[in-house]
Amino acid sequence: MAKLTRPSLNNLRPFEPELPDLPIDEIKRRLGTERVAKLSFNENPYGPSPRAIEAMHKELTALHLYQDASGDALRATLARDLGVGPDQLILTNGADELILLTTLAFLDPGEEVIIPSPTFGQYAASTMAMGAKPLKVPLRDFRIDVNAILEQVTPRTKMVFVCNPNNPTGTIVSRGELAQLMQELHEDILLVVDEAYVDYVTDPSYNSALDFLRSRKALLIIRTFSKLHGLASARVGFGIGHASIIDSLQRVRPPFNVNRIGQVGALASWQDVAYQDTIRDLNTENRQYLYDILTEHKLSYIPSETNFVLVDTHQEAATVYKRLAKAGIIVRDAALFGLPRHLRITVGRKEDMLWLGETL
């Protein structure tokens, strides 16, 4: 049977959930405890906007009917508010699907894709699934190194992924660095900027890649409702780009990829600006609380613009990970990202951070 599988998949593995990847109830069952803080998925611990919950609840009675395949109501609103045309916006089943569709639409076997490292794992996985070659470029001081990316460009380079802010470091590419990349990266190379955590950013030197849409055609921006909007399992992501880029993606999009509940939930959440502000403020406050706890424990960390923090444990992080997990606090061992001394800790509620402080 193995012969049936495309050779490009030989280096890929199915997603095998480990403890930090399991649903909370299953973690509780396995640990035999009622109290669990799941700080491994960068989820919003406060849940969706009440307005989104109400809208999704109302929509349940229509689940027997196929939804609007192109999600026009949501798409038109997002496009209008972001200052682009509806033909410049595509809705997807989370940002993950958009990453896969992007590689499907634009990559041929043998082409090269530049990916900073460490970063979100799906860029390399989707690239390899198409038979293309991920070329990893190390970060510099835990920040994406624009000059190093530009140095790696060859005639075979087809795409560059930039996660801004970056997962797992929480660091940003500044406005100036982004401008340099836009200008110096050849116009035939698709620059994909993943802004999954954009809604949390407060640093004034940050610029969304949206501001470069007019000057660069080969640009795709990825967003999601899974993080600050707290709609992770509603599965709504979206891409913004030049109409020709979006058109290519629309050719490979399964027609009913974004479900009915997700569409109305995302729309209501998008319009609930007060809720978004509240969640951002709470995150900033709780993140400072986490910083203070880490400092008290003499642990260093990378200052973050997101809802997670990369922490240097100054020892093998697996030891600390196991100790926390035993108590019910589930964080991410960054060995997964090639950082065996680090943990990535999602900013939780204040009480979760307090508990972490007591347990560390």
> Which range of residues in 75-83, 93-101, 124-132, 296-304 is near ligand PLP by CB under 6 A?
93-101
Residue 160: CB minimum distance to ligand PLP, A: 15
44 binds ligand PLP (CB under 6 A): no
Lookup: tokens for 248: 């290519």
Give, in degrees to the nearest 5, the angle at Cα 44 between 41 and 47.
Answer: 125
129: contact with ligand PLP by CB under 6 A: no
Least CB distance to ligand PLP at residue 103 (A): 14
What distance in Å separates the CA atoms of residue 35 and residue 107, rounded to the nearest whole number? 45
Decide if residue 167 touches ligand PLP (CB under 6 A).
Answer: yes
CA distance 236 to 62: 19
Q: How far is the CB of 78 from ligand PLP (least distance, A)?
A: 14
CB atoms within 10 A of CB 197: 24
Binding mask 228-267 for ligand PLP (x = CB under 6 A): ----x----x------------------------------
Measured from the Cβ of residue 184, the count of other Cβ atoms closer than 10 Å reads 12
Q: Which is nearer to ligand PLP, 106 or 200 (CB)?
A: 200
The footprint of ligand PLP on residues 185-204 (CB under 6 A) is: 194, 196
User: Which of 95, 107, 324, 360: binder of ligand PLP (CB under 6 A)?
Assistant: 95
The residues in 286-345 that bind ligand PLP, with binding defined as CB under 6 A, are none
Binding of ligand PLP at residue 42 (CB under 6 A)? yes
Closest CB to ligand PLP among 157 and 306?
306
Helix (H) / strand (E) element for 138: namely strand 133-138
Q: At residue 220, what is the residue type?
A: L
Residue nearest to ligand PLP (CB): 94
How crowded is residue 121: how many other Cβ atoms within 10 Å of its Cβ? 13
Residues 272 and 49: beta-carbon distance below 8 Å: yes
Quick check: 127 binds ligand PLP (CB under 6 A)? no
Query: For 37-98, what is the HEC assignment?
Result: EECCCCCCCCCCCHHHHHHHHHHHHHCCCCCCCCCHHHHHHHHHHHCCCHHHEEEECHHHHH
Q: What is the DSSP letter of 110?
A: T
Phi and psi, residue 162, nearest 5°: -130, 120
The token pair that represents 35 in the structure block: 């109290």
Shortest Cβ 106–ligand PLP spacing (Å): 18
CB of 110 to ligand PLP, least distance (A): 26
Of 44, 103, 224, 257, the one binding ligand PLP by CB under 6 A: 224
Binding residues for ligand PLP (CB under 6 A): 42, 94-96, 120, 163, 167, 194, 196, 224, 226, 232, 237
